[in-house]
């Protein structure tokens, strides 16, 4: 294999796959990217066996062939290059010569025959989703995905089609058992999506799909067997779906809130941030005390101290006291765009619902905690 390629094109592509390639693995080939040169360009491939990525790049192919090269080292070489083009030539025994006409590298590579075969699922029915819509849906749910290994069945975003009021929506739901986030968006031709019963897309895979939706161009999404397929332009991602069953999330969402509070998002966000100043790993709680047009936030850490703040709210109901994790409020509010949010409660021991007029189709839920 021998080729010349634009430095910026190669840099963007190799940078893009750094989050996919395995940094530490008992399979060294998974830390490599596969460069396949043919015709008037190359195909760059990366995989961790759960997520597979391919991108076509224009290049001057002097001699076709394939090369499996360390993804991290190639990224560092191209990143530090000051040249406008990168020259790559395969040598004997799977070595490669890389140069930008100033620096010259000789690198040991791996056999391209060892690289996992990329198989694009066939007969996939795709729908186009606006990049900004897809990005919003992922950003408003992914923070609620569990970080604990024990919560494997919750370690992804549940994706399904729902019909409400005669309209069809794409719904994403995520939970870690302590909080839940859900968003519905209308998507044209959603009925064409093969999505019977809902699927679980792993968190890492959703992050990669969000990168594909980095601008407002449309992203094509489809499902086939146990894979989610996303493509845009010359880029293609195949994500293996989780085989776990998502819990009945509807059972924990109150049908109606007995008490509602309207408050400026920035005021509540600032207040919750103050509550976390004196928190630590063992104590993250905040007590919310509601009175007429007032909300008092109180956080007491026996080992450090206490903090409290009063906020003006629109509330006329009975006095209530509730305990929650302040960090969960911060995560939800940071993902929202509304200037004012509505908090809904049934009583002092029920979940808190968070919605906003500027966040159409979105709902956040936080389970209470004893303080």
Q: What is the pLDDT of residue 196?
A: 74
Question: Do 307 and 335 reside in the same domain of the chain?
Answer: yes
Q: What is the pLDDT along the chain (371 residues), one digit of tens a residue?
A: 999 999 999 999 999 999 999 877 789 999 999 999 999 999 999 999 999 999 999 999 999 999 999 999 999 999 999 999 999 999 999 999 999 999 999 999 999 999 999 888 888 899 999 999 999 999 999 999 977 654 566 789 999 999 888 888 999 999 998 999 999 999 988 888 888 789 999 999 999 999 999 877 899 999 988 999 999 999 999 999 998 888 899 999 988 888 899 999 999 999 999 999 988 877 889 999 999 999 999 998 888 999 999 999 999 888 999 999 999 999 999 999 999 999 999 887 889 999 999 999 999 999 999 87
DSSP, residue by residue, 241-307: PB-SPPP-GGGGS-SS-SEEEEEEHHHHHHHHHHHTTT-BTTB-EEEEEEETTEEEEEEEETTTEEE
Instruction: Tell me whether residue 290 is in a domain.
Output: yes
Last residue of a domain, one of 220, 246, 272: 246
Instruction: Tell me whether residue 119 is in a domain.
Output: no
In 3D space, the residue among 263, 227, 264 whose CA is nearest the CA of residue 118 turns out to be: 227
Question: Residue 243 is encoded by which pair of tokens?
Answer: 């085989």
Instruction: Tell me whether residue 13 is in a domain.
Output: yes
Instruction: Tell me whether residue 351 is in a domain.
Output: yes
319 DSSP 8-state letter: -
Question: Residue 284 is encoded by which pair of tokens?
Answer: 């993250």
Q: What is the pLDDT of residue 150?
A: 47
Question: Do 160 and 74 reside in the same domain of the chain?
Answer: no
Domain count, the chain: 3
Question: Do 265 and 224 reside in the same domain of the chain?
Answer: no
Instruction: Tell me whether residue 211 is in a domain.
Output: yes
Question: Do 237 and 331 reside in the same domain of the chain?
Answer: no
Instruction: Tell me whether residue 312 is in a domain.
Output: yes
Question: Do 223 and 293 reside in the same domain of the chain?
Answer: no
Q: What is the pLDDT of residue 149?
A: 55
CATH (domain of 156): 3.10.150.10
Question: Do 130 and 232 reside in the same domain of the chain?
Answer: yes
Q: Which residues contact 237 (CB under 8 A, 6 or more apart)?
A: 51, 52, 53, 205, 208, 209, 212, 229, 230, 231
Instruction: Tell me whether residue 140 is in a domain.
Output: yes
Question: Do 238 and 260 reside in the same domain of the chain?
Answer: no
Question: Do 238 and 288 reside in the same domain of the chain?
Answer: no
Question: Do 240 and 259 reside in the same domain of the chain?
Answer: no
52 DSSP 8-state letter: E
Question: Do 257 and 345 reside in the same domain of the chain?
Answer: yes
**Distances in Å between the alpha carbon of 354 and those of 7, 143, 285, 295?**
46, 15, 18, 15
The parent domain of residue 348 ranges over: 253-366
Q: What is the pLDDT of residue 136?
A: 96
CA angle 358, 201, 368 (to 5 degrees): 55
Last residue of a domain, one of 92, 114, 136: 114
Instruction: Tell me whether residue 307 is in a domain.
Output: yes
Question: Do 30 and 90 reside in the same domain of the chain?
Answer: yes
End-to-end CA distance of the chain: give it in Å, rounded. Answer: 65
Question: Do 166 and 264 reside in the same domain of the chain?
Answer: no
118 DSSP 8-state letter: P
Last residue of a domain, one of 60, 90, 114: 114
Say how far apart CA 125 and CA 71 lie, in whole Å.
32
């Amino acid at each position: 294999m021998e080729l010349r390629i634009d430095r910026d094109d190669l840099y963007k592509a190799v940078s893009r796959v750094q989050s996919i390639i395995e940094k530490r693995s008992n399979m060294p080939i998974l830390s490599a990217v596969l460069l396949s040169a043919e015709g008037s360009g190359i195909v760059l491939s990366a995989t961790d066996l759960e997520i597979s990525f391919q991108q076509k790049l224009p290049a001057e192919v002097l001699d076709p062939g394939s090369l499996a090269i360390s993804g991290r080292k190639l990224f560092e070489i191209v990143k530090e290059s000051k040249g406008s083009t990168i020259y790559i030539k395969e040598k004997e025994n799977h070595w490669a010569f890389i140069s930008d006409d100033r620096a010259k590298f000789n690198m040991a590579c791996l056999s391209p025959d060892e690289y996992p075969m990329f198989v694009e699922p066939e007969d996939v029915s795709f729908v186009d989703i606006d990049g900004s819509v897809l990005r919003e849906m992922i950003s408003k749910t992914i923070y609620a995905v569990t970080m604990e290994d024990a919560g494997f069945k919750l370690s992804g975003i549940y994706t399904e089609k729902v019909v409400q009021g005669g309209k069809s929506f794409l719904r994403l739901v995520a939970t870690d058992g302590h909080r839940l986030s859900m968003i519905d968006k209308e998507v044209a031709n959603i009925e064409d999506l093969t999505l019977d019963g809902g699927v679980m897309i792993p968190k890492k895979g959703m992050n990669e799909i969000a990168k594909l939706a980095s601008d407002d161009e449309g992203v094509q999404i489809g499902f086939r067997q146990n894979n989610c397929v996303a493509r845009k332009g010359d880029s293609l991602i195949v994500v293996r779906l989780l085989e776990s069953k998502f819990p009945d999330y509807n059972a924990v969402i109150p049908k109606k809130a007995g008490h509602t509070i309207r408050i400026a998002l920035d005021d509540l966000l600032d207040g919750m941030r103050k509550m976390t100043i004196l928190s630590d790993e063992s104590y993250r709680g905040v007590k919310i005390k509601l009175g007429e047009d007032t909300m008092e936030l109180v956080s007491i850490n026996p080992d450090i101290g206490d903090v409290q703040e009063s906020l003006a709210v629109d509330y006329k109901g009975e006095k209530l006291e509730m305990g929650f994790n302040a960090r969960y409020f911060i995560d939800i509010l940071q993902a929202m765009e509304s200037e004012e949010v509505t908090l809904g409660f049934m009583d002092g021991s029920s979940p808190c619902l968070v919605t906003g007029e500027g966040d159409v189709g979105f709902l956040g839920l936080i389970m209470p905690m004893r303080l």
